[in-house]
Each structure stands twice: as C-alpha cells, then as structure tokens.
A and B are shown apart, each in its own frame.
Chain A
Amino acid sequence: MNPIIRKGIRERLRPKHLLASALFSLIIAATVYLSAYLDGMQEKKRYDYISKTHQIIEENPVNGARNAFTYLLGFQGFLLMFLGTGRVASVTAEEKELGLLDYQRMTPMHPFSKVTGYLFGLPAREYFMFLLTLPFLLHCVVVGRLPWLDIFQLYTVFFSSVILYHLTAHVIGLVVPRPRAASWVSRIAVLGLYIFLPGLGQAGVSFLSFLTILPTYFGKILPSLSFVGENKLGRFEAKAFEFWQDVPFFTTSISPSAFTFFMQSLLILTLCITAYRKWRNHALPAFSKPSALLLYGIFQFLLLGCLWMFFTEGKAIGLLGESFSLHKLGQPDPYLALIVVQSIFYGLSILVILPLLNICCPNQHLYLKGMQRSEKLSLAKIPMGADERSGCWLALALSALTIFTHFIFATLIEDSALWNAPLGALDTVVIPSLFLVSMALYLQASRELWFNLGFWGFIGLLWFTPLLMSLVVAVGWSTEHIGLILKLQALCPLSLLPLHLIAENSSFFSLDQNIQESIREAVWFGLSVSIALSLLLQFKLRRSRK
C-alpha cells in the first residue's frame, strides 16, 4: 500500500475515530434517507402545469426511494466534496508551512505516488463515512428501480469530481505560500472553477458547464427520479433536463456524462502536471512553457468546438444562447449576439493568457540562472522550452493561437448566409490581432521586469483603475465626457475588444454619429497605448539584460 495512504489511515482511522465517524455518518444518513423515503412514498397531490389540473400520486415505496436519492447524493457530496476538499487543502498547506512536506519531497517515491497518497490518504475518514452510506444507496437503487447504467455513469462522474476538487485543493496548497492564503485561494478557485465558470455555459460556452456533476445528474438521472403515476417532469425539472442534453461540439453532439468526464479528465491532467512539477521541485513554475501552450491550444479547441454551431447555424445552448438563438427569435438581432459571443471568447482567452504568462515568464533571477547554466553547458542560448527562457515566444504563440481561432470564427461568419456579414473576415481580425500581440508582449515584459507583486500591481493600475475611473465619470458626467469614458475603458483589454466589435458594426445599432466617432477614437487610443507600452517595456527589458 502507498505509505502516505497508510499514514492517512493510521492517523485518522484509529478505533475511536472509526466509532465516532461511523456513528456520525450512519445517524445523519439514516435521518436524511428515511425522512425523505417516508415522505416520498406517501400519497400526494401534484399540480400539472400543462393540463392545469391536480394529479393524485398513490402511496408507493418506489417513489419513496426515488425521492430519497437526491438527498442521499447531497449528503455523500457533503462528505467527500465539502469535508474532504477542506481537509486536503488545509492539511497540504499546513504541512507545507511546517516543513513536513519537505520530508515527503525528499523521499524517492514517484511524484504521482505522492499526489495519490495525499488525495486518498488525507480524506481517509471521509471515504470511510462515504462507504457507510452505500447500503442506503443500494436500497435506493433496488427499491426505486433506478437504471444501473445511469447510476454507474453518475457515480463515475461523482468520483471524478471528487478527485478534481481534492486535486484542486492539493495543488493550491502546494502553490500558495501561506496556509491562510491557501485556504482562501482554494475556496475562491473552487467557487470560480465549479460555480462561476459553469455559469458561462448559459452564454453559449457550453464546455465550461461540464466541470460539475450537474449535467449528468440533470441529463441522465432526473427522468428516472420522476414518481410512478406522474405524467410529466415539473416545470423546473423539464427545463433543466432540456438544458443538459447532448452537447453540440463542432458538427456533432456528445452525451453530457461523456463530455463531463472528458472535461474533468482534462482539468485533472492539468492539475497533475502542476502537482508533479511542484513535488519534484517546489521552485519550478506551475507549468512549463510547452505544457502551457498545449493547454491553451486545447482550451482554444474547446472554445472553437462549442461555438462552431453558433457561428454556422446560429444555434447556442443556455439561457443567453436560447434568447439569441436565431430560429427561436422571430426578429433576430444577430450583430448583438455576435458581439456578445465574440466578447466572451476574447474575455476568456485574455483571462487565460494572463495567468499563463505570469506563471511561465521568468523573473530576473531565474533568467540570470538560466544564462549562467547555459554558459556552463556551453550553449549559445537558453533552450526554448526551459523555464528560465524569456517568455516572448510563448506570448507570441498564445496570441497567434487566439488570432487563429478568431480568424476561423470570422470566416464562418462570412461564409454563413445567416449573418449577412457586412465586413470581410480580415476587417474584424486585424485590430484585435495587433492588440492581442502588443498586450501579450507588454504582459510578458512587465512580468519579467518586475516580480509577481509588481506585475499584478501593474495590471491593477493599467486595466482596472481606468475602468473604475470611467465608472465615476460616467455616473457624474455621462453625456459631457463620453469620449473620456470610452478612452478610459479602452485601456482595459476586456472592454477594448467589445468596443472594437461595436465600432465595426456601429451602423446596425443606430448610434449617434458622435458616439460612433468616440468609440473609434477610443479603440485607436487603446491600441496605441498598448503598442507603445509593449515597445517601451520590451526595450527596457532588453536593456536591463545587457
């Protein structure tokens, strides 16, 4: 057995722990399960929103078991996803702070064995408590006549989610220097990755919705949980079931559980790369440059796959997608839909480029170390993939990948009869391309010139302070200073690109001539500042290295 798992069992499953945790798990599971079961099996009246009549559902133990399933799943999620994740994050950070992680780092075990040990050893008690809920689950599936295959799919996704959450917590514990910070960052990361990002699925970026157990639960299990004698799913259930059906991906569609499994595996792989590097040497950046490029390439591929149907046929999933979907709206406003979806595409791409450059670009000391090492090894330059190598090529490659994806979108828009695109593909791509390249270059230069804190300070001052200022000016003097407001907004890439898209399609929005002019001026202003900054910082960086 893995020594770290064995350590976890020894530490957390001594006889008194076993007794206490078994009592806790059995009492709560029995209470939750039995109350839901007994409530569900009784005769009840349901309102049918279609026929607008009341329906009598007779007493039936099958209904009881089906009613209890969701509650039991919730309790199991609480044990492994909530308690288990918290345990992994806090203990990893604590061991790192105390130096216990250093002992483990020095052992000759393979880094993946160490990661496995931490993932399954630290929450050993939570897994034990989960095991004790299985008899209830078995009763539920047998009595409730739930389809075994769907249950198997759901629990495969459930465990993959658990591993994903635990791995996220472990990696954050390894990466973030202080335990208190690690605890906060892990909470924010779990919220961001598994609650905020899946929300973007409602805006057509469907792949982000498949990081949780929800698609499989709603898409696979929900219909099997309807009561015997009930004609239809409830209004909410029907909507949820419809949303979590097969995922459009390029010209095909994939089942929600397969897609969830695929997405989670991808994220697990990403986190494993980071954990592996951090276990080998905690001074290494979380990603190497080639792995960062590969991950970004996969990310762009997923964006392309999910938005393909939108650009070719005008189809999108989710609430926003539904309202923008051309065939559902009698009077479509295609340009607004285009701007929103493309803005989301750019926003997400920039928000991924930013941390990747921060992680992969070396600071001055690391660069110096690389120079000295390559001198020692008689190399003319630091090797391309080395962590010590300047991130300039990576910045260019990341922006090139984004431009390439956008170019494909632009070509799809141009080729599709749906959009009646007024502009050629190149017209919408050139300015964003220039902007993305210059932005990536100034981000890379600032990261390499200044340390982590300086970099984030620079981003805060350049991107977010002008946005906040524009808000104040807009509230106070909106009509008088529209030019200034737009210029301030154009300094932030997250608002400049939507402004550019509005400027390109301004004739379709019946905007005043003045405002159209102001938007164009703001776009050029933002672009000029970005290019000037990239030139200035690149020059400064090169001079500092001579």
Chain B
Amino acid sequence: MISVRDLKIHYGEHVAVDSLSFSVESGSVFGLIGPNGAGKTTTIKAIATLLEPTYGEISIDHISVLHQPEEARKKLGYMPDFPPVYDDLLVYEFCDLFAHAYGLPKEARNKKVKECLALTDLADKAKVKCKTLSRGMKQRALLAKTLVHEPSVLLLDEPAANLDPKARIDLRNLLRQLASTGKTILVSSHVLSELEDLCDAIGIMRAGRMMVSGNLQDIANISSTEKVIQIEVLSSDKKLQNCLAQFPSLSKITKLNQNGTRFSLSHTGDAEDAASILQSLIQQGFPVSSFHRKQSKVEDLFLDVEAGRMKEEKTR
C-alpha cells in the first residue's frame, strides 16, 4: 500500500505540492487527476524516491521512502510520463538490463523478460532496437521494464498518453489484472475518461493541493444535493423566467442560447419536486419541448476543480 501524509514540496519559492495526504490500498488502482501543473508528476516522483520532499511522510508497504529509500525502491516500479529508453539496445536487452540490475538470476531473468514482453504485446519486437519503436511501443517497452522485477507498487505517470485506442483498452485490462494479483497501482492522467473505467478511487489535484479524493461512487455523490435541470421551450416567453423564479427549489437561472428558449437551473429538490415543476409549466401553457434533470458526475466535479470553483478539500 501507499501512504502519503502531509506532503509538501517546494521548488525554490514555488510550492509544487502542498499538504497532500492520501492512501492507496493493496490490490487497488488509484488515479491522480488534475490539469497540467497540478503537482501529479511531482507527487509520483516523490513517492518514487526521485525527489526529496520538503516535509511530510511517504511509506510503501509500511517502509518509509524518506528514511529507507533503498528498501522502498525494491518494491517500486516507476514509469515516467515521457518514455526514455536506451536507443541502441534491443527491446529484450533493455528489459534484461533492469532484470539483471534488480538481481534476478540468469535463468529466471530470461523467463521473466519474455513474460513481460508478452504481457505488453511486444514479444515480436524483442530483437528490435529501441530507437526504431514508435512512441506508444516505447511506452509499452517501458511498462515491460517496470514489471520485470515484480514490484508490489506501480507508479505510472500518464501511462496511456501515447497509446492508440486499442492499446489503451489493453493497458486498462492489464492494470486491472495486475491489481487483481494484489499490486498497488497509482496512475496519473489529465484525461478523466482514461481513469474513470480503470480506477477504484481517484484524487483530483489542483495547484499542488488535493481538492477531492475517494472512491468513484462517493465522489459522484459529493454534489448530489445540487443537480441541474435543463429546460427547452418552443418559443421565448418573458413570463417563463418569472414563473421559474417562483419555485423555491430552483436557483441560478441561466440562459443557454440567444433566443431565450433554453435554460439551465440549479435544483435542490428531489425527483417528485422536478415532476411537479414540469406539470406546473405545462398547466400554465408553456410549450416545453425538453425537460432534463442532470445528475452531477465526477466529470462535473473535475471541471469545477479545474475552473477553481471548488474551494475546500472533500474527502470520502
């Protein structure tokens, strides 16, 4: 498992990560999401022992990354966002180098390298020089190298960034499969859709702070008290806005087009209340052509965070 407590990282005067705390249980996939510059890569590098935090505690399977980095490194597999490889090595040699460096005996090394290359769909590229690989293939070679010493914790920084759609699906399946074997996986991305189907839990970061974290269902429920109703009428009518303003459960009426035929409203009531609003509008003769009650989703929350609308940390 990964545990991060009160992490602070300064770059000179700039605070890259500020009071960050979260934990990832064994056998689960945790997604760190946030816009560029949110502090995701910095956090992952600190967990990977590559960056010394200014303050805070990080532990990997109860081993302190700060006090016993050598021990922690044995358990870690790290894959950076930009996939550098040794250009003049063959793909097989590249993975073999790290299997050797991690102390695997020769026979086990050969078997393990082949296994990892097969797992990442690179078995047929084993005898090809790394420099001839496409960016997506380099990413896969890097993943094979990361898995070769069987780390219990995987830190993957934007692992799907250079992959084609099929490779993304394969990666997702592979990561789920690895998690099911008990590995702890921390993945970062700035694309939410990449993580929604993969992660058990996510954390949304902005400006070095964790704005929201928890499992996906809990996060979806965070703003469930406030939903959005979208109404469309056939023709504009000034009375409509006055009528809508009379409902106590509706607020923040926003016109969605120039004609004044589409509106968005914040709604704090339940489904019954929404039904009575619709009934009332029809009874008053407004030509309602569409009435849609939208559930708040993780995506909305992410957009809120990205736009800086969310001020406080919410954790479930």
| Interface residue ranges, A against B (CB under 8 Å) | 3-4, 6-7, 10-12, 98-100, 102-109, 280-283, 365, 368-369, 372, 451
Contact between chains at B54 and A368 (CB < 8 Å): yes
The answer to whether B93 touches A10 (Cβ under 8 A) is: yes
List of B residues within 8 angstroms of A102 by Cβ: 48, 50, 78, 80
User: Chain B contacts of A365 at CB under 8 A?
Assistant: 10, 12, 54
Residue of A nearest to B55 (CB): A372
A461 to B279, CA, bound (A): 80
The listed residue (B54, B55, B78, B89) touching A106 by CB distance below 8 A is B78
Residue of A4, A11, A283, A369 touching B88 (CB-CB under 8 A): A11
Q: Which of A7, A99, A109, A372 contacts B80 (CB 8 A)?
A: A99
Whether the Cβ atoms of A100 and B84 lie closer than 8 Å is yes
Which residue on A lies nearest to B83, using beta carbons?
A99
Do B70 and A108 touch (CB < 8 A)?
Answer: yes
Give the residues from 25 to 45 in chain B that come closer than 8 angstroms, CB to CB, to chain A: none
CA distance A102 to B146 in the complex (A): 12
Which are the 5 A-B pairs with shortest beta-carbon distances?
Answer: A107-B101, A3-B100, A98-B84, A283-B52, A11-B88
B100 engages A281 (CB within 8 Å): no
- Taking a contact as CB atoms under 8 Å apart, the answer to whether A107 and B102 are in contact is yes
Complex Cα gap A3–B94 (Å): 11
Q: In the complex, A471 Cα to B98 Cα: how many Å?
A: 58
A7 to chain B, nearest CB (A): 5
Q: Given A99-B80, A106-B48, A368-B54, check contact A10 B70 (CB 8 Å).
A: no
For this complex, 30 residue pairs linking A to B, each with C-beta atoms less than 8 Å apart, are: A3-B97, A3-B100, A3-B101, A4-B101, A6-B97, A7-B89, A10-B89, A11-B86, A11-B88, A12-B88, A98-B84, A100-B85, A102-B50, A102-B80, A106-B49, A106-B50, A106-B73, A106-B78, A107-B73, A107-B98, A108-B74, A108-B101, A108-B102, A280-B70, A282-B50, A283-B51, A368-B55, A369-B54, A369-B55, A451-B12
Q: How many A-B residue pairs have CB under 8 A?
A: 72
- Whose C-beta in chain B lies nearest to the C-beta of A117? B101
With A7-B97, A100-B86 as known contacts, state yes or no: A106 contacts B76, CB within 8 Å.
yes
Within the complex, the shortest CB–CB distance from B59 to chain A, in Å, comes to 14
Q: A108 CA to B50 CA in the complex, in Å?
A: 14
Which of B's residues lie within 8 Å of A, judged by CB?
10, 12, 48-52, 54-55, 69-70, 73-74, 76, 78, 80, 82, 84-86, 88-90, 93, 97-98, 100-103, 145
Q: B14 to chain A: closest CB distance in Å? A: 11
By beta carbon, the residue of chain B nearest A97 is B84
A7 and B50 form a contact (CB under 8 A)? no
Distance in angstroms between the alpha carbons of A186 and B84 in the assembled complex = 24
On whether the beta carbons of A108 and B103 are closer than 8 Å, the reply is yes
Assembly CA distance A4 to B55 (angstroms): 34
Q: A6-B100, A10-B88, A365-B10 are in contact. List 16 more A-B contacts (CB 8 A).
A: A3-B101, A6-B97, A10-B90, A10-B93, A12-B88, A102-B48, A104-B101, A105-B50, A106-B49, A106-B76, A108-B102, A280-B69, A283-B51, A283-B52, A365-B54, A369-B52
Expressed in whole angstroms, the minimum distance between the Cβ of B144 and any Cβ of chain A is 13
Q: Which residues of chain B are within 8 angstroms of A280 by Cβ–Cβ distance?
A: 69-70
Provide the bound-state CA to CA distance between A106 and B74, in Å: 8
Give complex CA distance A10, B92 in Å: 12
Partner of B101, one of A99, A109, A282: A109
* B86→A281 contact, CB < 8 A: no
Question: Which residue of chain B has its CB nearest to the CB of A7?
Answer: B97
Shortest Cβ distance from residue B88 to the other chain A in the assembled complex, whole angstroms: 4
- Most chain B CB inside 10 Å of its own CB: which residue of A11, A100, A103, A368: A103
Docked pose: A482 CA to B86 CA in angstroms: 62
Q: With A and B bound together, what is the CA distance between A11 and B102 in angstroms? A: 20
Bound complex: CA of A282 vs CA of B50, how far in Å?
Answer: 8
Hey, which chain B residues are within 8 Å of A105, CB to CB?
49-50
CB contacts (< 8 Å) of A103 on chain B: these are: 78, 98, 145
Residues on A with C-beta less than 8 A from B88 are 10-12
Chain A residues with Cβ under 8 A from B55's Cβ?
A: 368-369, 372
**Which residue of chain A is the closest to B48 with respect to CB atoms?**
A106
Chain B neighbourhood of A282, CB < 8 A: 50
Q: State the Cβ distance, B250 to closest chain A Cβ, in Å.
A: 50
Q: How far is the CB of B13 from chain A (nearest CB, A)?
A: 9
* A228 CB to nearest B CB, Å: 49
When chains A and B are docked, how far (Å) is the Cα of A451 from the Cα of B55? Answer: 19
Residues of chain B within 8 A (CB-CB) of A4 are 97, 101
CA distance A281 to B68 in the complex (A): 12
CB distance from A405 to the nearest CB of B (A): 36
Report how far A369 CA is from B89 CA in the complex, Å: 41
> Could you tell me if A7 and B93 are in contact, using CB atoms closer than 8 angstroms?
yes
Within 8 Å CB of B48, what residues of A? Answer: 102, 106
Complex: how many Å from CA A109 to CA B93?
A: 18
Distance in angstroms from A285 CB to nearest chain B CB is 12
B12 surroundings in chain A (CB, below 8 A): 365, 451
Q: CA separation between A100 and B138, bound complex, in Å?
A: 13
In whole angstroms, what is the CA distance A12 to B98 when docked?
A: 18
B84 to A, closest residue via Cβ: A98
Are the C-beta atoms of A108 and B69 separated by less than 8 Å?
Answer: no
* Minimum Cβ distance to chain A for residue B90 (Å): 8
**Closest Cβ neighbor of A282 among chain B residues:** B50
Tell me the bound Cα distance from A10 to B86 in angstroms: 11
A103 to B89, CA, bound (A): 15
Residues of A within 8 A of B90 (CB): 10
